[in-house]
Amino acid sequence: MYPEEMVIPMKNELVNNGFEDLNTPEKVSDFVNKPGTSLLVVNSVCGCAAGSARPGVVGSLEGGKKPNNLGTVFAGFDTEATQQARKFMLPYP
């Protein structure tokens, strides 16, 4: 489990750009069942998330077509929510 003071700024990179913070399994399930196209990002403290994933996903929203729903879970912090999100992503690891 990562310390909150490390995670919150990284969470806010997405939340401040319109992503819903899905920090419980119930929020994840509700999000997945919303109508329309959804984009669910598994955020992390790793360098790949910082260097590519977060900037890339925020940049992708600058185009003309956007998902109806934006959500994010944080691996290593919102553990149960991330486990729930990964159930919806099976069979992909």
Q: Catalytic residue positions?
A: 46, 48
- Kindly report whether the peptide bond that precedes residue 3 is cis, defined as omega within 30 degrees of 0: no
Q: Which residues of 68-88 are buried (b: 16+ CB within 10 A; e: fewer)?
A: ebbbbbbbebbeebbebbeee
